[in-house]
């Protein structure tokens, strides 16, 4: 494969082409993802009555658009070798991470696609890939989807919630989002391993973070990297004084909110997180001297509460949800939440026992305890993969997870990040 080495540097003559190419990509994602949002707001402000277009959103458009933009900008900077179109197309459409990330750059994927040594079956990588895929599928099907049942019930009828149920629903959504995204990342990495491709880490146990800055260095790491390289640093980063740094951080979080979805709820969610990141940076010494347990509670409590805006359909629903918590009107756990966690696997082992008959919320407690133990008390997936060995024990564990997950394919399951 003939390819010229990069390094020619920027060219002023190429700058208009680069700007045009980036604008075309942004225009495409605006049309498909944000056109109805734009029309709705124009109608609200100008009192017009333009009809909505109801455009179907292509899967993964937020991810492959950013990959194309990074390729265009790096090409302009003289950092990309002269690849042919087929190689470029394989880079953009590499299916394990196409739908929901990680957002890969040309320098970490294309050389692997062109490496002849990676074009033969590697049985160690195949075993490691199945192991990672099974863990990810288990997180998604056996945990995220179960918590999702309670979440959907709670956010479908927010005004009827009381403090107890609102808190349980919010905690359920925190776990659902965690295992949904973490599970997809594991499956993407696993599929990549089966093809001898190493994908970047995108999720690094964010619920163990002690500060909000650390949290965002661990959550959706490749998205943070994209905004750092192509927005934050070009705006000046932290090189032009504190005030400019805070403005740049705020812009990054604002854009991140719009990236996640065409709704003001996402914008509010991102702005709240951006403001807290700025506050943490302004009072860094205070947060550094804080007891780790207190820092963890503040960080996780703040992030989890802002997730109400991330999940709610409207701002009014989000405010009503928060009010239900603040009313402190504690009641029994609603029967819909109790039923959500009575899964076939648990009922097979525990149903009709004296404990579960007298204490039906035992199912809820088991799921919440298990989820909390996994996110805080276990090694994360890339650590497990680094120490993986194709042993009989790992083979049995992989097989058990795959069988249990497949047997649980009984309901409608959607990856949350497909929507982004």
- List Cβ neighbours of 158 (8 Å cut-off, separation of 6 or more): 312, 317, 320, 321, 324
> Given its phi and psi angles, is residue 387 left (phi above 0), alpha (psi -120 to 50 degrees) or beta?
alpha
C-alpha angle 337/146/173, rounded to 5°? 75
Active site residue 54: no
Buried b (16+ CB within 10 A) or exposed e, 90-114: ebbebebbbbbbbbbbbeebbebbe
On whether the CB atoms of residues 88 and 248 are closer than 8 A, the answer is: no
Nearest to 312 by CA among 263, 273, 276: 263
- List Cβ neighbours of 281 (8 Å cut-off, separation of 6 or more): 213, 245, 246, 249
Nearest to 368 by CA among 337, 391, 394: 337
Distance CA 127, CA 138 (A): 17
* Neighbour-count burial of 86, counting CB atoms closer than 10 A to its CB (0-12 exposed, 13-18 middle, 19+ buried): exposed
Distance CA 1, CA 90 (A): 14
Catalytic residue among 54, 106, 220, 260: 260
- List Cβ neighbours of 182 (8 Å cut-off, separation of 6 or more): 136, 139, 203, 381
- List Cβ neighbours of 42 (8 Å cut-off, separation of 6 or more): 48, 50
Nearest to 173 by CA among 56, 293, 269: 269
- Nearest 5°: phi and psi at 327? -65, -20
* Beta-bridge partners for 203: 219
- Nearest 5°: phi and psi at 203? -155, 115
DSSP string of 277-340?
Answer: HHHHHHTHHHHHHS-HHHHHHHHHHHHHHHHHHHH-SSHHHHHHHHHHHHTT---PPPHHHHHH
The residues annotated as belonging to the active site are 260
């Amino acid at each position: 494969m003939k390819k010229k080495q990069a390094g020619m540097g920027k060219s002023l003559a190429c700058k208009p082409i680069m700007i045009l190419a980036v604008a075309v990509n942004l225009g495409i994602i605006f049309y498909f993802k944000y056109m109805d949002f734009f029309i709705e707001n124009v109608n609200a402000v100008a009192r017009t009555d333009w009809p909505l277009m109801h455009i179907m959103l292509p899967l993964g458009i937020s991810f492959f658009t950013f990959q194309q933009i990074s390729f265009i900008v790096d090409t302009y900077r003289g950092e990309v070798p002269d690849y042919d179109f087929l190689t470029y197309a394989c880079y953009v459409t590499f299916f394990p991470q196409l739908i929901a990330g990680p957002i890969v750059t040309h320098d970490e994927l294309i050389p692997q696609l062109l490496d002849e040594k990676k074009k033969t079956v590697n049985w160690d990588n195949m075993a490691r890939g199945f192991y990672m895929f099974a863990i990810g599928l288990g997180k998604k099907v056996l945990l995220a989807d179960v918590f999702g049942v309670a979440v959907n019930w709670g956010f479908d009828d927010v005004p009827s919630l009381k403090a107890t149920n609102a808190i349980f629903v919010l905690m359920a959504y925190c776990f659902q989002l965690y295992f949904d995204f973490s599970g997809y990342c594991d499956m993407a990495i696993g599929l990549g391993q089966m093809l001898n491709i190493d994908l970047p880490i995108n999720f690094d146990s964010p619920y163990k973070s002690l500060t909000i800055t650390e949290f965002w260095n661990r959550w959706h790491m490749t998205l943070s990297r994209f905004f750092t390289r192509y927005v934050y640093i070009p705006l000046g980063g932290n090189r032009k004084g504190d005030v400019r740094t805070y403005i740049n951080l705020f812009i990054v979080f604002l854009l991140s909110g719009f990236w996640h979805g065409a709704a003001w709820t996402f914008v509010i969610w991102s702005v709240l997180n951006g403001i807290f990141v700025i506050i943490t940076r302004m009072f860094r010494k205070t947060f550094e001297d804080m007891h780790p347990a207190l820092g963890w509670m503040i960080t996780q409590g703040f992030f989890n509460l802002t997730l109400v805006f991330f999940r709610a359909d409207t701002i009014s629903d989000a405010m009503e949800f928060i009010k239900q918590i603040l009313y402190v009107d504690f009641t029994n756990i609603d029967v819909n939440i109790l039923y959500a966690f009575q899964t076939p696997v648990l009922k097979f082992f525990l149903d009709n026992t004296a404990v579960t008959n007298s204490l039906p919320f035992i199912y809820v407690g088991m799921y919440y305890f298990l989820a909390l133990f996994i996110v805080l008390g276990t090694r994360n997936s890339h650590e497990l993969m680094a120490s993986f060995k194709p042993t009989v024990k790992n083979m049995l564990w992989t097989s058990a997870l795959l069988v249990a997950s497949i047997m649980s394919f009984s309901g409608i399951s959607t990856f949350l990040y497909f929507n982004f």
